[in-house]
Amino acid sequence: MILRLLLHLLLLFMLAPLLAGIIGKTKATFAGRTGVPFFQLYWDLGKLFKKGVVISRTTSWIFRTGPVIGLAVPLLAALFLPFGPVGAVFSFNGDLIFFVYLFALARFFTATAALDTGSSFEGMGAVREVTFSCLVEPTLFFILIVLVRLSGSLTLSGMFGPTLVASWHSAGASLIIILVCLLVVTLVENCRIPFDDPNTHLELTMIHEVMVLDHSGPDLGLILYGAAMKLLIFGAMLVRLILPFSLGNFWLDLMLFIVGLCGLAGLIGVIESIMARLQLLRIPQLLIGTSLLSFFSVILLLR
């Protein structure tokens, strides 16, 4: 148990910033540039944690709480999810709902912290973030319902457990559909193109980035670290869905998991390189589309 906890945390802390580096490097390669080093985010985080903080006088304690919860939530959520061969640390019946609403809690605090600054930009960002996450929630639940139904387990560790291999044989169509939906959810939740542009400097077009404009120093570091971990958590679910089998050796399986995550980061980099951003008005339409698609995968199972 303790060993698993340590391994989990080690993977989470050490691997998360690398994914951002891989995405950046892939995009740079497509654009014909050298790009920043793979390990840039590690240096950035180190730099931010050494800095001081500037806090607006109009804010209250909520503003300081946002970043802390932004890091605490992915940390806690990760422990309910198996990372490749490393099983979940905690597990109880119905923990999938706890898992989903942990992220909702983080969103609540990030959005409230954004509103706390009183800036019109951050207010707009908060509104957009909350709207889009409302639309993502049904998709996420349909995905989980499919997995519950297939595995017969109400825990995340059971749903992403060894039964997945058999499920691919019995209900491949449903799983392919939820795989696509989960990729969309991952892109939306992690503010990637085509839904949001993490690299833009244009406040009026931002969704997530604009909410954290007023944070600086260690607070910003916590937010960036939390965001990287969130990507790793969603990535872990995707990788587990794509590569459910076991090679029989713990270390080989672990390698497979890590390679899978890096491959996924590369895929996100490719998507960001060959697509433009969606118009903000189109995002809800697309999200409703994925909700319907994921609902269809449930119907496929029930027929």
Partner 1 sequence: MTESVYLKNGGMTPVAAIPRLEYGDFGQAIVTQVQKGQARVAAYFAVLSDEPGAVLEIFAILARERHGDLAVFRTLVGERFESLTPNCSQVHLFEREIAEQFGVIPEGHPWLKPVRFHRSWRPDHDAWGRDPAAHPLVGDLDFYRIDGDGVHEVAVGPVHAGVIEPGHFRFQCYGETVMHLEISLGYQHRDLERMLLGGPHPATPSQIETIGGDSTVAHMSAYSKVIEGLTGCPAPARAKAIRALGLELERLANHVGDLGALSGDVGFLPTASYCGRLRGDYLNMTAHLCGSRFGRGLVRPGGVLFDLQSSLSARILAALEDCEANTIGAIRLFFDTPSVLSRLEGIGRLSRSAAEDLGLVGVAAKACGVPRDCRFFFPTGIYQQEFDELITDENGDVFARARVRSREVEVSLGLVRRILGNLPKGETMIPMGPLPPESLAVTLVEGWRGEVVHVGLTDGTGSFRRYKIVDPSFHNWSGLALALRDQQISDFPLCNKSFNLSYAGFDL
User: Which residues would be at the binding site for partner 1 (CB under 8 A)?
Assistant: 27, 30-33, 120-121, 124, 193-194, 197, 199-205, 272-282
Query: By C-beta, is 76 or 280 nearer to partner 1?
Result: 280
CB of 279 to partner 1, least distance (A): 6
Q: Which residue is associated with the tokens 């730099």?
A: 47
What string of DSSP letters covers 117-177? TT-HHHHHHHHHHHHHHHHHHHHHHHHHHHHHHHH--SSHHHHTSTHHHHHHHH-HHHHHH
Query: By C-beta, is 33 or 50 nearer to partner 1?
Result: 33
CB of 273 to partner 1, least distance (A): 5
Query: By C-beta, is 192 or 230 nearer to partner 1?
Result: 192
- Determine if the peptide bond prior to 138 is cis (ω within 30°): no
CB of 170 to partner 1, least distance (A): 36
Query: By C-beta, is 27 or 107 nearer to partner 1?
Result: 27
CB of 124 to partner 1, least distance (A): 7
Query: By C-beta, is 34 or 93 nearer to partner 1?
Result: 34
CB of 116 to partner 1, least distance (A): 17
Tell which residue, 86, 88, 66, 85, has the closest CA to residue 77.
Answer: 88
Give the single-character DSSP code of 81. Answer: S
CB of 118 to partner 1, least distance (A): 12
Query: By C-beta, is 201 or 303 nearer to partner 1?
Result: 201
Q: How far is CA 141 from CA 147, 155, 176, in A?
A: 10, 13, 16
Residue 106's φ and ψ, nearest 5 degrees, are: -60, -40
Class of residue 124 by CB neighbours under 10 A (exposed 0-12, middle 13-18, buried 19+)? middle
Angle between helices 40-50 and 217-242 (to 10 degrees): 150
